[in-house]
Structure 1
Amino acid sequence: MERKEQHLKQIHLILLMFFLFISGCAQRITEQDVPQTDWRSQLEAQKNWKASGKVAFIAPDDRQSVNFNWQLKASRQHLILSSFIGTQLLELIEHESHSEMAYQDEQYIDQSSSELIARLSGFQLPFEKAPLWLTGAIRSDHNQYDPQSRLKSAKWTDEQGKTWLINYQSYQMVDGFWVPKRISLTQDKLRIKIQLNSWQFNNE
């Protein structure tokens, strides 16, 4: 009888420890993964962030893939594209009145970041609205959302008159925000696939 009681006590103790462990894990997951209240408006208000990942430019007769580091600071963008072995291909910095690019050991200036990228590198990229579409916060008459209020797709016309279609294939939770993990952009016969491996938000 005593052995049976001891055995039951051991089972109760094991079960208690198990449920305490599960409870602790659930609490940690909840604190990390639950989105902030009104996370969308708070995300749109972010003016300082960093993102890194990979981007592939796919055309009927060409395909190029590069790594990127993308930064928004005080509403100004800073983009670095590099090869998979780490060689810097271009660096673009936005200033108040113009954009500046370092490309093939030369410096170039233009009022339009998108035009500067296209003219020198051959890449078409809707750069001016990137802080909106890259974070899934762009607004248009064609927006579609999922049940969690995350943008699924959108269509808009950029400053050069080109129509872009964007699809958000997956999201990730970072600092209480739902931010894109995989994005697909289409303009005419060009397709751009973006994989975002890391996000960092800074409220300073």
Structure 2
Amino acid sequence: MPKLNQQSLPTNYSLENRVDYLTTINNWQINGKIAFLDDKERKSATLFWQNNPNKNTEQLSLTTYLGINVLEVNLAEGIYTIEVDGNSYQNSNIDHILMSLTGYQLPSQALKSWIKAIPFSVNDKITYHSKTQLPESIIGSYNNQTWDILYKEYINVNNIPLPKQLTIKQDQLTIKIVINQWMF
């Protein structure tokens, strides 16, 4: 597992500046579980995802509960390398590779924002919980498709509430993510 570069975080977090604050946190790492569900099949895996724009690198690993690597994605020098089923694929466009491998248009770039419960674009519409004032849902757009993101649970990380459990839906595809650990 690669080391995460420590970043200096602003100290002025509040619910009022939540989006601006979390937008500045781009160097993060999560561990958890992910499931892909559609009308034909269900697949789940253990998730490790590290985003480090300071070094222009990214790593995503999906493994079975036995630790068998299902999918490995690495970004280095602007090129994504995906290893799956013993084969390696490279392209500068992650969406193109994922579409050809899965048959789904996945929200790869938007997910980096939605995973933090912040909008990806100015057109994303957020619904806030009446008591906590944290996002309850986002209706977002990515590659001309509408995605519904539902936030079921939050955890405090360094006194910042971040999603622990979220569901992302588009058409027949549902992606469920449970995050067990956040690191910045």
Interval of TM-score (by shorter of Structure 1 and Structure 2): 0.7 to 0.9
**Matching residue within 125, 144, 155 for 1:172:** 155
How far 1:85 moved relative to its partner?
Answer: 0.7
Q: Which residue of 1 aligns with 2:66?
A: 85
**Percent identical across equivalent pairs?**
27
**Matching residue within 102, 110, 121 for 1:129:** 110
Q: Which has the larger share of helix?
A: 1
Q: Secondary structure at the match of 1:131?
A: helix
TM-score for both structures, normalised by structure 2? 0.81
Letter in 1 for 2:111: A
Q: Distance in 2 between matches of 1:141 and 1:40?
A: 12
- Bigger Cα displacement from structure 2, 180-189 vs 70-79: 70-79
Q: Distance in 1 between matches of 2:90 and 2:58?
A: 15
**Matching residue within 113, 116, 137 for 2:94:** 113
TM-score for both structures, normalised by structure 1? 0.73
What aligned pairs does 1:28-39 form with structure 2 within 5 A after superposition?
36-37=13-14, 38-39=17-18
Root-mean-square deviation (CA), in Å?
2.0
How far 1:186 moved relative to its partner?
Answer: 0.6
Q: Which residue of 2 aligns with 1:43?
A: 22
Q: Which has the larger share of strand?
A: 2
Q: Is the 8 A contact 2:148 2:168 kept in 1?
A: yes
How far 1:116 moved relative to its partner?
Answer: 1.5
Q: Distance in 1 between matches of 2:46 and 2:103?
A: 16
Structure showing greater Rg? 1
Q: Is the 8 A contact 1:113 1:127 kept in 2?
A: yes
Q: Secondary structure at the match of 2:116?
A: coil
Task: Name structure 2 gaps, 5 residues minimum.
Answer: 1-11
Q: Distance in 1 between matches of 2:118 and 2:27?
A: 15
How far 1:198 moved relative to its partner?
Answer: 0.7
Q: Secondary structure at the match of 1:143?
A: strand
Does 2:42 align with 1:58? no
Q: Is the 8 A contact 1:53 1:67 kept in 2?
A: yes
Residues matched between the structures, number: 166
Letter in 1 for 2:150: N
Distance 1:163 1:39, change over 3 A: closer
**Matching residue within 47, 51, 55 for 1:68:** 47
Distance 1:141 1:42, change over 3 A: closer
Q: Secondary structure at the match of 1:125?
A: coil
Task: Name structure 1 gaps, 5 residues minimum.
Answer: 1-34
- Bigger Cα displacement from structure 2, 51-60 vs 72-81: 72-81
**Matching residue within 157, 163, 166 for 1:183:** 166
